[in-house]
Amino acid sequence: MNSIEKIFANNKEWIAGKLSLDPAYFENLNKGQNPEFLYIGCSDSRVTAEDLMGVQPGEVFVHRNIANMVISIDLNVMSVINYSVRHLKVKHIIVCGHYSCGGIKAAMQSVDLGILNPWLRNIRDVYRLHKDELNAIADEQARYNRLVELNVQEQCVNLIKTASVQQAHRQRGLMVYGWVFDIHTGKLIDLKIDFPKILADIMEIYRLS
């Protein structure tokens, strides 16, 4: 069996497993989705949203890209945010980064990566914003880990800059969280980003509604 055939065999097994526990499983899945969470994470194959959160199909709306970025002119992520906040009415938005992130590592190097340059530029901007703190960290691994965390924090700030998130926070208490997945241990770390405080700090500049 080749690797593609294996996938279809896996799928058959998965269907049988679900149906053995609940014969109406797919019928119910077909009725619609009502996820409480929007998860924005990295495309890295080792960081699978549902697995690490222990949630089932229907529980989390997922967007993944290189280095879990929230970029205001990325129509893809902006559509995901708009749809999930205004239509699905998610209650929690999570930005989840991870240690050993290749995107973050690439942004720390002086290399021309072609089409990736403008994407990674956004991570370099995070470095510039926090240059004093980062450059004060002598250990390269520790500096790399810290940039992973600061990048999550800045992407949370970028979320807060959107009109849909500002409005949903005010109207129904939508919250934003920054997490890091530690690949070495499997642990999910809550960076405890103070969403209301950041919101208060930046609203003077970014208020849209």
The one catalytic residue in 63, 96, 101, 169 is 101
d(CA 194, CA 177): 8
The burial of 200, by beta-carbon neighbours within 10 Å (0-12 exposed, 13-18 middle, 19 or more buried), is given as exposed
Identify the DSSP state of 186.
T
* Under rule CB under 5 A, residue 191 binds Co ion: no
Site for Co ion in 91-130 (CB under 5 A): 101, 103
Q: Which is nearer to Co ion, 96 or 134 (CB)?
A: 96
d(CA 117, CA 119): 5
Exposure letters 109-131 (e unless 16+ CB within 10 A, then b): eeeeeeeeeebbebbeebbeebe
The one catalytic residue in 22, 46, 170, 201 is 46
The one catalytic residue in 63, 98, 156, 169 is 98
* Under rule CB under 5 A, residue 42 binds Co ion: yes
156 is annotated as an active-site residue:
no
Q: Which is nearer to Co ion, 63 or 169 (CB)?
A: 63
The one catalytic residue in 44, 63, 96, 156 is 44
* Under rule CB under 5 A, residue 149 binds Co ion: no
Output the six-digit token pair for 155. Answer: 């992407």
Site map for Co ion, 18-37, x if CB under 5 A?
Answer: --------------------
d(CA 155, CA 98): 13
Contact residues toward Co ion (CB under 5 A) are: 42, 44, 101, 103
Catalytic residue set? 42, 44, 46, 98, 101
